[in-house]
A and B are shown apart, each in its own frame.
Chain A
Amino acid sequence: MAETILVVDDDLDILELLKMNLEPEGYNVRTASDGESAVQSACTDPPDLILLDVMMPHKDGFQVIEELKDIEETKSVPVILVTARGQTEDKVRGLDTGADDYITKPFDLREVTARVEAVLGRTRPIKYINPLIRAMGEGFSEEGLEQLAGHLQAAAAIQKKLLPEQAPRLDGFDIATLLQSSTSVSGDFYDFIPLSETQIGIVLGDVKGNGIPAALLMVMIRTALRLLCHEEDTPAASLKRINDLVARDTEADLFATMIYGILDTETSTFTYANGGHCYPLHWNNARSIEVLKVGGMLIGAFEEATFTTGTCLLAPGDVLVFYTDGITETEAGDAPVSDGNHSESMRSEQDDIHEDAILTDIFYGSDRLAACLSKNAALSASALCKAVVSDLARFSGSTQTRDDRALIVIKRDV
């Protein structure tokens, strides 16, 4: 989601200049031309960052910062002060008051975007974990907050490193992946684990929940699976161990759905187990879609859960697709029923039979994904990924994503 910047300056030309400079960078820009309306605007709808001119009549930048720091909703909004050249005192006073950075006038526009991005990069994780901090109570110190923010950044970095950059090359198979994150730390993940010369483990999962706990859970699942998959004979046994580990060590509302399977390039079979995840799709040589319905309990909520191993034989040209619900739950762009209130009023007017039709209109759904797969099954794995992405963009009218999306396409060579 685009971040919002509130730009405050009494010089309307500068306001316009900054707006024109920042909007193409993907930010939402709001403006205020005096201190009073800046405070009001920030309180009504706290922005992600404020670019604040110091020298303004009536209420200057320092007074604005002091007021904002006293208000619960705005006290953690980062502020970059814009000061006149050479006013070192201003800079010192500004940083003392709680400004996060400063820019001197006249400024270089590239410097403005660089500083904005640097400050947002620093404060983004703090904003992200604020709900967690609130849950932990009032007594939480500022040092603790910074420490946690640091941990989250580390977790995000670890996660990025953990995700394989490229799908592995395998004899006789063409594999491509897609991962689109809606936040700095993604809940969706995938992994490829080399098991032997002819076998590779394939993982696709979706950690539910937010922030550090979810990020840590993802790292924990990935690491644990990498270690224990070598010890277990079947994917079902591997998932069972992961489940027991997570169920024992985490709260019940922290859980994941995932598929773990082994692709054997010699026998062209895919052996898999499913922990509550969306069913994979198999486009087979009969030119039809088979849904791989061997399912199982979601991972991490119940210690007693057991799993089943399923098998799927891949003929030449067959395609296997794994996806997360961020794909099937992509909402339609300009559908008349896309907003909640509207659909509720429709429900009262129509009978239940129409409910399915309404839902089919709201969400992309697995049927559309299956249709897209059938239509493009002749393409390469990476072209198929791209075809799904453009189909989603067409359906939703946007290239942005509200939820994380992950996709793995495995195609056996013809």
Chain B
Amino acid sequence: MNLDTTIGEENISTLHIEGKILGNASDAFRKEMELQLQTGHDKLVVDLTNVPLIDSSALGAIVTTLKSCQESGGKLVLLNPQKAVQEVLEVTHLATVIEIYDTEESARDAFM
């Protein structure tokens, strides 16, 4: 997995991830989101365009971060999850509590 975070307008952090988020990669993913929160970035876009799969620990990281963001008045949104990831989000019903967008523009607009 490759992880690259860019901070854009309105202090929105976008996590660009490439590859499966499994095992150790889930830890790295969790730590990166924690780092964003610790440095005051609670507007997060998690770009899942190039993520074929995530495991339950990555799912846990998303849930925890989502709640932390909400508590501090921010937000976490997902961008463009692929079929297998979308299925996990639907089976777990996380798709009903997390905002999911198809394009980077609409994800950014979610914070306006």
Q: Which residues of A contact B22 (CB under 8 A)?
A: 340
Complexed CA–CA distance, A359 and B67 (Å): 30
In the assembled complex, the CB of B52 is this many whole angstroms from the nearest CB of chain A, namely: 6
Chain B residues whose CB sits within 8 angstroms of the CB of A295 once the complex forms: 90-91, 93
Q: Would you call A208 an interface residue if the criterion is a C-beta within 8 Å of the partner chain's C-beta atoms?
A: yes
B residues in contact with A343, CB < 8 Å: 20, 52
What is the distance, in angstroms, from B89's C-beta to the closest C-beta of chain A?
Answer: 10
B57 touches A208 (CB 8 A): yes
Provide the residues of chain A in CB contact with B19, threshold 8 Å. 340, 344
| Chain B, Cβ-Cβ closest to A279 | B91
A190 at the interface (CB under 8 A from B): no
Binds B, one of A87-95, A223-231, A252-260: A252-260
Q: Which of A336-385 contact B (CB under 8 A)?
A: 340, 343-344, 347, 352, 355-356, 358-359
Q: Choose the segment among A43-51, A99-107, A114-122, A296-304 that binds chain B (4+ C-beta atoms closer than 8 Å).
A: A296-304
Return A65 CB to nearest CB of chain B, in Å: 30
- Residues in B with CB closer than 8 Å to A305 are 93
Say whether, besides A253-B61, A301-B63, A344 and B18 are in contact (CB < 8 Å): yes
Q: Is B94 an interface residue (CB 8 A)?
A: yes
Give per-residue flags for A274-288: 1 if the beta carbon is below 8 A from chain B beta carbons, else 0.
001111000000000
How far, in angstroms, from A33 to B91 measured CA to CA in the complex? 54
**Contact status of A297 and B67, CB under 8 A, knowing A208-B60, A347-B50, A359-B84:** no
Which residue of B20, B91, B94 contacts A340 across the interface (Cβ within 8 Å)?
B20
Question: Which chain A residues border B56 with CB–CB below 8 Å?
Answer: 206, 208-209, 325
Which residues does chain A contribute within 8 Å of B20, judged by CB atoms? Answer: 340, 343
B59 contacts the other chain (Cβ, under 8 Å)? yes
Q: Is A67 an interface residue (CB 8 A)?
A: no
Interface: B39 (CB within 8 A): no
Which residue of chain A is the closest to B25 with respect to CB atoms? A340
* Given A340-B1, A355-B52: A208 touches B59 (CB 8 Å cut-off): yes
Number of B residues whose C-beta is below 8 Å from A?
26
A interface, how many residues as a size bin? 20 to 34
Nearest-neighbor residue (CB-CB) of B56 within chain A: A208
Cα A224 to Cα B76 in complex, Å, equals: 32
Find out whether the CB atom of B91 lies under 8 angstroms from the CB atom of A277: yes
Decide yes or no whether A73 CB sits under 8 A from chain B.
no
Known: A255-B60, A278-B91, A344-B19. A297 touches B52 (CB 8 A): no
| B92 sits at the interface (CB 8 A) | yes
- CB neighbors of A among B1-52 (8 A): 1, 18-20, 22, 50, 52
**A36 is an interface residue with CB less than 8 A from chain B:** no
A251 near B: Cβ within 8 Å? yes
Question: A298 to B96, alpha carbons, bound, how many Å?
Answer: 11
Of B82, B91, B94, the contact of A355 (CB 8 Å cutoff):
B82
- Chain B residues with CB under 8 A of A355: 52, 82-83
Beyond the given pairs A255-B60, A344-B19, A347-B52, 10 more chain A to chain B contacts, judged by CB atoms under 8 angstroms and listed by A's residue number, are A208-B59, A209-B57, A253-B64, A254-B60, A257-B92, A297-B93, A305-B93, A343-B52, A352-B82, A358-B52
Q: Which residues of B contact A (CB under 8 A)?
A: 1, 18-20, 22, 50, 52-53, 56-57, 59-61, 63-64, 67, 82-84, 90-94, 96-97
Contact sample, A vs B, 8 pairs, CB 8 Å cutoff: A251-B64, A253-B57, A298-B92, A298-B93, A301-B63, A344-B19, A355-B52, A355-B82
**Top 4 A-B pairs ranked by shortest CB distance?**
A253-B60, A276-B92, A297-B93, A208-B56
